[in-house]
Structure 1
Amino acid sequence: MTGGGNTFGGNASAHSVVQARQIDSFTQHVHVGADASLPAPAPAPECQLPVEEQPFENRTPEREQVGRELAARGRSARPVRPLTVVLSGVSGIGKTALAVRLAHELEEHGLLSFYVDLDEWRTAGAIDLTAVLRHLLGWLTPAESQLPEERRALENRYRARTRDTRLALVLDNVWSADEITTLLPVSAESVVLVASQERLSALESRGALGLALEPLSFEHASEVLRQIVGGQAFGGQAFGGQTAGGVNPGESSQALATIARLCAGFPIALHTAGKLLRAHPTRRMERIVDDLTKDLHEKGLPVVEAVWNAAYAALDPPAARLYRLMPHHPGYDITLDAATALLGTGLDDGEDGFDGLTNAGLLALSPRAGRRRMHSLLRAHAVRCAGRHGDPAETEEGLRRLLVWYRRQAERADRAIGADRMRTAEPVPELPYAPDVPFASAAEAGAWLDAERKALYGLVRIAGDLGEDTHAWSLCEPLWKHYEDHGNHEDAIRAFETGRDCAQRDGAAEALIRMRCQLAQALWKAGRAEDADTETRQAVLSAESVVPGEKPHASALEFRGKYLAWRGEPEQAVVHFQRSRGIHLTIGNPYGVLLQTFLVGRTLRAAGRLTEAEAELEAARRMAVEQNRSRVTGRAVAELARTHRALGRTAQAVAAYEEALAHERARGSVHDQIALHDELAQVTEESGDSEAAERHRARARELRVQMGMEAEPED
């Protein structure tokens, strides 16, 4: 089998065909009970797997074992949990390639496939599972505009959404079973393909199929090389059964076999060696073999290291320098623009370096379009190359360029999302050494911040380590919007703590107030009440001392009020919101006045001061309409509805709820629509209008099904 087959086992043998039929039997079995009369589901997500760039060879025993397991499940009683397959082995052994191949083959049997690399969501060794759940739900429910913020609510929605969805879910770079327990789908008709360097005995003890991968055999390794080089000629030699210049084809095959042995059956080493051959068709085969053998025997390096050393030695200067700098980039993957910033010598060198590393097999395509990523083994090798061929100054200069470039792009993205947001830092001017990322809309800017989140949060830490205090806290400012939208509390806490400390060292008083406020919200959202209390108190005290009566003072009071409301002290919270509003009135900031008025009204309602709350919320609604702030308008009207309900004004409450629903439908906020329909069902039920109550309950159910929050009802 040389890759590309659609049956488990890979060969079009009678055994494989029978096995494929057994798997089809399993997929037919799990569909029993489907009702074609049910309403059409929400827009379905599309299968998303990495492109299979490299030749795939063998792994027939493992693929057949998975096929047998699926066939056995189809013959047995209805399974109670998804099939989990754990592919384990050292880096470069081909775990990811096999997992992706299996997922592609499961697509042929009707499963919906998706790939998640946990390294993309890992910071300092820890997985941000809240962010991963949001990522999965964003794929599973593409029409949903808003997801819950709290982890428990996300887990509940994920379980509901995966209860009746047949998934082939690839989870790559898993370190432990605990990391993925909450990510396992509920549907017993799903298959989870886990790639891990370690055996995950905790999963295997619960019925997972464990498959430990070994290096490819010599024959299969040789076949991988033959597929890569094809019929291309090298130094007068041609592979694939052809000859050039009268050379014996047996000699070229022998040289190829020598390289296959040097790669020791590691697919990643074979792919790198094959690309080295293709990149240098005029180089004598004897020279390539000699170089690889010399590195192996004289330097005592592992066989894989020998291949990569030879590939590095063949790089042009821009590619070699980029290779030495790449492991210091803190992101999951990298774009051409960011690579150009890392090099700092212009877009031409950036393109040459990017293409050179890709062609040499030292950079791979990322699952995300337009990006490249470096394998963990190659990242470690690049560090060693930097130690042998680079110098510390080269690395530090590259990191400083990268830091400034990312800060500029983050600031530009933040302004594209919200031009009037309060900011302290002076924006970075245009940079001569790397191009700007184009942001055609706020949505594109938000998508860029999310795609680069790992790099951005990592660069805050790097800035602190380099003593670049101004850059550290300045970069935290545009990260605020990403944090608000995605709720990655632990990453935010680490970054905002660094920002706070750097602002303090930098003597930037206003920035320090802002950093304390940002940090405080991340702290209380993570349940760290005492730490949040300290930060908000200190922010207010500093503002009263340094910038009394100015916008940072108003902001500090607002955050202190939000914290007190979260802690269950609405009376004290109202006092802080009112003080903040007074400052906004004095300095002439209409939106600040609107926001604080809404917060006062909402908090008064929660405190039971309903008449006062009504007056404040009516004022907030009026100002929101005048300022064309649709989101605040809808929120103010919803709070008014709740106030009317608490005052016993059922007709006014229903009218306000309906008005709020109209605003949320216009905004496309399904989550808020569901909450309002639920409340309307309660209000109308209490008033004796059971028909209206059932209508609202039914609509709320429809929206939950549409968003994957619960299964479709059965007849």
Structure 2
Amino acid sequence: MSDDRTGGATSNTITGGISFHAVIQGRDITVQLPPTITAALSGLPAPASAFTGRDTHVEQLLEELAPVTDGAGGQRTVLVSAVSGLAGIGKTELAVQTAAQALKQSDWFPGGVLFTDLAGYDPERCLSPERALEGLLRALAIPGEHIPGGLEDRQRLYRSVLAAYANENRRILVVIDNASTTGQAAPLLPTDGTTAALVTSRHTLDGLDARLHDLDTLDGTASIAVLDQALRHARGHHDTRFTDDAEAAATIARLCAGLPLALRIAAAVLAAAPTRPAASLAAALQAEHTRLDKLARPDRAVRAAFDLSYQHLTPDQARLFRLLPLNPGPDLSTDATVHLAPTSPDQAEELLQYLAEAHLIEPALAWGRWRMHDLVRLYADEHGHTHATTDQRDSARTRLFTHYQETTQAADTHLDTLSGPRAPHFPDRAAALQWLDTEHANLTATATAAPALGHPSTATSLAFTLVRYLDYRRYFDDSITLTTTALAICREFGDRHGEGAALNNLGNALQGVRRFEEAIEAHTQAATVYRELGDRHREGAALNNLGLPLREVRRFEEAIEAHTQAATVYRELGDRHGEGQALNNLGGALYGVRRFEEAIEAHTQAATVYRDLGDRHGEGTARMAWAIAHNERRLRRS
């Protein structure tokens, strides 16, 4: 069968095939191209004027698109580059900007560019591969009556046309935008070994045999630049509202969380109101519950972009997506997700991995940890409140908080320097510390947020069980925050024992940041509370701690009194370890007022106690202090 047309039209010669009216099936297809490039091969959307912060990605993509010059017979290492990322992250713009630069390069793509938007996430506009191929074939000047009706036949013809262009040194760049699945994009990919393709998707399409690129948010500097460039483009270079108010610009950039779509909408909001100051928009975006409402224009909105991704989730995926914002901290482990969902570890990882492939969450630096973009978190939380009953949201939060409490308690047993039982949850101290280090931000965020969420016991539990860890890592500011919160809760509920413990811990943390007078006040109040409760042991601990900041402000006589009382209490109660600590501290206070003989005696007694207990570290500390006092006495005598 042959079809010859005049005027530069396409001429097709088909052998070994069968013709069914307008449907052509062929084994061997020879395509003769028209001598000029059609206008449809210049159909790339116009690049945005405000584009920054993507130089590295553009360079990488251009390197992959560049023609082969190494004598490898034209066979390329990278034929397809796939860019994936969150809705609104700028995938399409990156592809368009890269393609525009590639077209400017001499002899890279003399055949032009094919661009198709598959609208893969929009159920009303989504293109099937068949429909997309029809449009691409028409753009390649294939008459409609010669376009087959089936996917495989259209795919064969399309790839043959691309190969023919490549053989005539009219290489084409194919840009496939907004694909939702591998199955939607794969039939549109060239296979001739020369034609290049760029694919964008909200999902990581690892089935395309493509070089994968994950697009992240913009940093603060690039975000501010996008705001400024977009506003100046809309209003002219004289509009300097973002540069005039750097603080407001930085706030808007932070609240948009580096999402280009949100940044462009924010700039458009200001462009629509020429007299509105940037500070006004910054203030309007502060409220989390209305931020997504503010980031909207009649033709685009952040929420609408997220909607299309959300609609593609299965019920289980959607439920987990809605529950993830319940975690108050910056990221979440797979293990914690098991308790949040609840589900098995394998199922939790599978669900999380899918959400990551859809770029609704992001893998953290360490495998097994996941985080959410700030605006996605707000979006998911909105849906979470809407489905709170069906998702059993309150129960999910309780399970998560209980997991944090119980695991922290288990880890704390491994930090106790005294002999005693260790929770089997962790094999050793190193593993417990590693978990605490990893979850530190989540645990402090949970303890801080818990009271307002109706979980005051979580706040007090974490505040008390994290004391040893926070002191060991010298996170004194966190300790002050948590113990202050716990103190307020204990006083509100009339928990006098908890009040005393919180005051004692607070005093230690305040001493760590050298706020000695406040530390003295906290320990004094703690000792008073325990005295009123008749809890002599804890009163002794508070007195022993009180002496330390008293020494720092050189109130040595008061310190001596506090340590002496503490040693007496411990001795009467038979707490030998506490007695050793108080005696050693007493020796330090006596040293401060040059009462060296008494200091030596106190350190000697402390060393004896520690030796009897088998505490080599304590004994060494006491003997070191004894040596210092002894040497000072000798120098004084000489």
Query: What TM-score range do you get, normalising by the shorter chain?
Result: 0.5 to 0.7
Whether 2:475 is the aligned partner of 1:475: answer no
1:256 maps to which residue?
176
- Indicate the residue corresponding to 1:220 in structure 2: 98
| Structure 1 equivalent of residue 364 of structure 2 | 366
SS of the counterpart of 1:372? strand
Q: 1:625 aligns with which of 611, 629, 632?
A: 611
User: In the TM superposition, what whole-angstrom CA distance separates every residue of 1:423-480 from its partner, at most 9, and x where no partner exists?
Assistant: 9xxx9xxxxxxxx994111121112112111111111122221343333212111211
Cα distance, 1:275–1:91 mapped onto 2, change above 3 Å = closer
Pairs aligned (count): 417
Deviations 1:174-226 (CA, angstroms, capped at 9, x unpaired): xxxxxxxxxxxxxxxxxxxxxxxxxxxxxxxxxxxxxxxx9525153899xx9
Query: Cα deviation per residue 1:589-647 (whole Å; 9 max; x = unaligned)?
Result: 22111111211112222221111111111222232233232332332232122212211
CA gap 1:392/1:236 in 2 versus in 1, 3 angstroms: closer
Deviation at 1:346, TM superposition (A): 4.8
**Equivalent in the alignment of 2:353:** 355
Q: CA deviation at 1:562?
A: 1.9
TM-superposed deviation, 1:9:
9.4
**Secondary structure at the counterpart of residue 256 of structure 1:** strand
1:511 aligns with 2:498: yes
**Cα distance in 1 between the residues matched to 2:369 and 2:89:** 20
**Residue matched to 1:594:** 580
Task: Write out aligned runs for 1:97-246 (5 A).
Answer: 216-218=94-96, 220=98, 245-246=152-153
Deviations 1:527-571 (A, max 9, x none): 44443333222111111000342x221221122222212222122
Match of 2:340 in 1: 342
Write the distance in 1 (CA, Å) between the matches of 2:574 and 2:473. 31
1:601, 1:271 → 2: CA distance?
A: 71
Counterpart pick for 2:532 among 533, 536, 545? 545
* CA–CA distance in structure 1, aligned partners of residues 99 and 563 of structure 2: 69
Q: Summarize deviations over 1:680-710 as a string: whole Å, max 9, x none.
A: xxxxxxx9xxxxxxxxxxxxxxxxxxxxxxx
Report the alpha carbon displacement of residue 357 of structure 1 after superposing the two structures with TM. 1.7
Partner SS for 1:257: strand
Instruction: Indicate yes or no: 2:557 matched with 1:565.
Output: no
Kindly state the Cα deviation for residue 324 of structure 1 after the two structures are TM-superposed.
1.2
Report the Cα offset of residue 239 of structure 1: 11
Query: Judging changes above 3 Å, is the alpha-carbon distance between structure 1 residues 547 and 453 closer, same or farther for their aligned structure 2 residues?
Result: farther
In the superposition, relative to structure 1, how do residues 11 and 276 fare at CA in structure 2: closer, same or farther (>3 Å)?
closer
Instruction: Look up the equivalent residue of 1:257 and give its one-letter code.
Output: D
TM-score (norm 2): 0.56
Is the Cα contact below 8 Å between 2:82 and 2:200 reproduced in 1? Answer: no
Structure 1 residue 380 displacement after superposition = 2.7
Contact 2:333 2:368 in 1 (8 A): yes
Decide whether aligned partners of structure 1 residues 522 and 346 sit closer, same or farther in structure 2, where only a CA change above 3 A counts.
same
Answering whether residue 322 of structure 2 is matched by residue 444 of structure 1, we say no
| Kept after mapping to 2: 8 A contact 1:417/1:443 | no
TM-superposed deviation, 1:503? 1.8
2:620 maps to which residue? 634
Which whole-Å deviations, capped at 9, do the CAs of 1:293-330 have from their partners, x for residues lacking one?
A: xxxxx995846644532222222333212211222312
Amino acid at match of 1:245: E
Contact persistence 2:405–2:461 (CA under 8 A)? yes
Q: Normalised by the size of structure 1, how large is the TM-score?
A: 0.50
The one-letter code of the counterpart of 2:596 is L
Partner AA of 1:413 in structure 2? A
1:675-690 map, 5 Å: none
Indicate the residue corresponding to 1:525 in structure 2. 512
Please give the alpha-carbon distance, in whole angstroms, between the structure 1 residues aligned to 2:339 and 2:99.
Answer: 38
From the superposition, tell whether residues 259 and 347 of structure 1 become closer, same or farther in structure 2 (CA, over 3 Å).
closer
Q: Which residue of 2 aligns with 1:613?
A: 599
Residue identity in the other structure for 2:597: T
Match of 2:440 among 445, 453, 459: 453
Cα distance, 1:333 vs. partner? 1.7
User: For 2:202, which of 233, 250, 273 is the aligned residue?
Assistant: 273
Give 1:614's aligned amino acid: I
Aligned pair in 2 of structure 1 residues 299, 7: CA closer, same or farther (>3 Å)?
closer
Q: Which amino acid aligns with 2:407?
A: Q
Give the Cα separation in 1 of the matches to 2:65 and 2:592. Answer: 68
Aligned residue type for 1:625 = R
Say which structure, 1 or 2, has more relative contact order (CA 8 Å, 6+ apart).
1
Which amino acid in the other structure matches residue 647 of structure 1? R
Give the residue type in structure 2 aligned to 1:595: Q
Helix, strand or coil: the match of 1:559? helix
Alpha-carbon separation, structure 2, partners of 1:313 and 1:12: 33
Matched, 1:584 2:539: no
Structure 1 unmatched runs, 5+: 14-53, 59-89, 95-213, 261-269, 280-297, 428-435, 651-686, 688-715
Larger Rg: 2
Letter in 2 for 1:629: D
Contact 1:91 1:376 in 2 (8 A): no
Query: How has the CA–CA distance of structure 1 residues 467 and 367 changed in structure 2, closer, same or farther, with 3 Å as cutoff?
Result: same
Offset at residue 422 of structure 1 (A):
11
By how many angstroms is 1:93 displaced?
A: 6.0
**C-alpha distance in structure 2 between counterparts of 1:422 and 1:393, whole Å:** 41
Deviation at 1:276, TM superposition (A): 7.4
Inter-CA distance 258–497: structure 2 relative to 1 (3 Å threshold): closer
- Residue 638 and residue 91 in structure 1: after superposition, are their counterparts in 2 closer, same or farther (change >3 A)? farther
Instruction: Give ranges in structure 2 of 5+ residues lacking alignment.
Output: 1-53, 67-79, 103-114, 119-126, 137-149, 163-172, 181-198, 209-295
Q: In the alignment, which of 376, 379, 397 is matched to residue 399 of structure 1?
A: 397
The one-letter code matched in structure 2 to 1:326 is L
Task: Evaluate the alpha carbon distance shift between residue 237 and residue 614 of structure 1 in structure 2; reply closer, same or farther with a 3 A threshold.
Answer: farther
Offset at residue 577 of structure 1 (A): 1.5
Change beyond 3 A, Cα 1:327–1:467: closer
Identify the residue that residue 501 of structure 1 maps to in structure 2: 488
8 A contact 2:95–2:200 mirrored in 1: no
CA contact (8 A) 1:469 1:502 kept: yes
Q: Distance in 1 between matches of 2:618 and 2:61?
A: 55
* Distance of 1:236 and 1:248 partners within structure 2: 9
Per-residue deviation, 1:419: 6.9
In 2, distance between residues paired with 1:4 and 1:635? 57
- Structure 1 residues 507 and 545 mapped into 2: Cα distance closer, same or farther (>3 Å)? same
Give the 3 Å change call, closer, same or farther, for CA 5–606 of structure 1 in structure 2.
Answer: farther
* Distance 1:383-1:221 versus aligned 2 partners, 3 A rule: farther
For residues 346 and 624 of structure 1, what CA distance do their matches in structure 2 show?
48
Q: Secondary structure at the match of 2:203?
A: helix
Per the TM alignment, residue 338 of structure 1 is displaced from its structure 2 partner at its CA by 0.8
- Conserved in 2, the CA contact under 8 Å of 1:236 and 1:247? no
CA distance in 2, matches of 1:477, 1:302: 48
1:288 — aligned with what? none
1:274 alignment partner, SS class = coil
Inter-CA distance 347–277: structure 2 relative to 1 (3 Å threshold): closer
Could you tell me how far apart the structure 1 residues matched to 2:625 and 2:326 are? 49
* Structure 1 residues 301 and 478: alpha-carbon distance in aligned structure 2, compared to 1, 3 A threshold: farther
The offset of 1:273, in angstroms, is 1.4
> RMSD in angstroms over aligned alpha carbons?
4.8
- Equivalent-residue separation in structure 2 for 1:91 and 1:450 (angstroms): 33
Q: Which amino acid aligns with 1:473?
A: T
